[in-house]
Amino acid sequence: MTDLSTRVAPSALTRAAPALLGYAAVRGLGLLTLALWSAGSGKSAYTLLTARWDALWYTRVAELGYGYEVRLPNGDVHSNLAFFPLLPWLERLVAAVTPLSYADAGFLVSLLASLAAAWGIFAVADHVYGRRAGVCAVLLWAVLPVGIVQSMAYSESLFTALAAWSLYAVLTGRWLTAGTLALLAGLTRPVGLAVVAAVWAAGITSIVRDRRAAPADRARDSRRALGMLLAPLGAAGYVLWVGHRTGGGPLGYLDVQAGWRNGFDGGYAFARFVADKFTSIPSALAGLALLAGVGLVVWLYLVCVRQRQPLALLVYAGVVTALALCASSYFGSKPRLLLPAFPLLFPPALGLARLRTRRSAAVLALIAGASALYGAFWLNGSGPP
């Protein structure tokens, strides 16, 4: 008798194949455009992807462990304790079992994780809205203006993969899997709290629903409870460890972030940043663009609510969006911080799915070209952090 997993996995991969092939094509276009642009600028595209900004901090953690810090002339202290450990752990593991450097390992992990993220996004969208919408959602995620970050040695792709598959596990009632993946997401980025919140919101809702509509199922209830208990352990464990290491107590991680002038102020600093753009006519155009971008994000979330997305998706996207928009520093990073909020793409994905294939393909191809050019321009200019 054929094992169920051997029959399910190939069919699931076959179902996701159009989305994954399309995603690979978009990312390939982005990387090719970056390589050509960088060559014309006398820069190394590979260096831009693997050895600048946060990528350097991750490789230093992988190579040297925690404890490295930079003291700036203004007194700020940039500590590598701000960077969660899962990506550097994977970089160290890959470097240990292959001839790759830590930077090479980070690039490989990011590439594989981006494919896993694309598959996870497809799985969630396919489960909720159908296969065609799933393909469109993946391609929209691929053609985002800062989509080139998905191919960098950053943690966005790894986090999005863990988050997407955790949410899929929630939607399909696999609570132990959901909790384990939420734990790993919590070891990847501070925004892992969004995955934990989604698991807990869905878990509590399902407990209430089951008590009203179904007889007790101890095995199911035990798996759900264990999954909910596992979910916060990654983020909580790392934050508490940092607090112990720094002597700052349970909130010591916030002190580390303060050294980077980063925190959560409800969006006050970002609002001031946008308002300051309106001091002259040229910068006012940038201010209007920022307002339009924020308005678009908020509108998409409201559409998600009106379309009655599953609670887990709404909670997850809401927390990711709130943390991205209400952080008190690194305003240029906000589009990158919003990359994991993939449920926001489901409303436009549904719109594309209703079009004829040729029309939707033409729209996506046009956006993919613009995204590839923007990504190359962005990384050869200011780029992340």
8-state DSSP, 46: H
- Tokens at 65, concatenated: 């462990």
Q: How many angstroms separate the CA atoms of 356 and 275, rounded?
A: 42
Q: Is the pLDDT of residue 4 over 60?
A: no
- Helix (H) / strand (E) containing 265: none
Determine the pLDDT at residue 6.
Answer: 47
Backbone torsions φ then ψ of 79, nearest 5 degrees: -105, 145
What value does the mean pLDDT take over residues 325-340? 86
- Asked whether 186 and 236 are in contact (CB, 8 A), the reply is yes
Q: How many angstroms separate the CA atoms of 191 and 321, rounded?
A: 10
Give 218-251 pLDDT, tens digit per residue: 788 899 999 999 999 999 999 999 999 998 888 8
Give 195-212 pLDDT, tens digit per residue: 999 999 999 999 988 877
- Asked whether 44 and 38 are in contact (CB, 8 A), the reply is yes
- Helix (H) / strand (E) containing 189: none
Give 40-97 pLDDT, tens digit per residue: 999 999 999 999 899 999 999 999 999 998 998 888 889 999 999 999 999 999 999 9
- Asked whether 33 and 376 are in contact (CB, 8 A), the reply is yes
Q: Is the pLDDT of residue 340 over 70?
A: yes
- Which has the higher per-residue pLDDT, 188 or 259? 188
Backbone torsions φ then ψ of 143, nearest 5 degrees: -95, 10
Q: Is the pLDDT of residue 179 over 60?
A: yes
Buried b (16+ CB within 10 A) or exposed e, 121-159: bbbbbbebbebbbbbbbbbbbbbbebbbbbbbbbbbbbb
Q: How many angstroms separate the CA atoms of 189 and 41, rounded?
A: 33
Beta bridge partners of 77: 71
Q: What is the CA radius of gyration of the chain?
A: 21
Please give the model's pTM, rounded to 2 decimal places: 0.94
Q: Is the pLDDT of residue 263 over 90?
A: no
Determine the pLDDT at residue 232.
Answer: 97
Q: Is the pLDDT of residue 158 over 60?
A: yes
What value does the mean pLDDT take over residues 28-43? 96
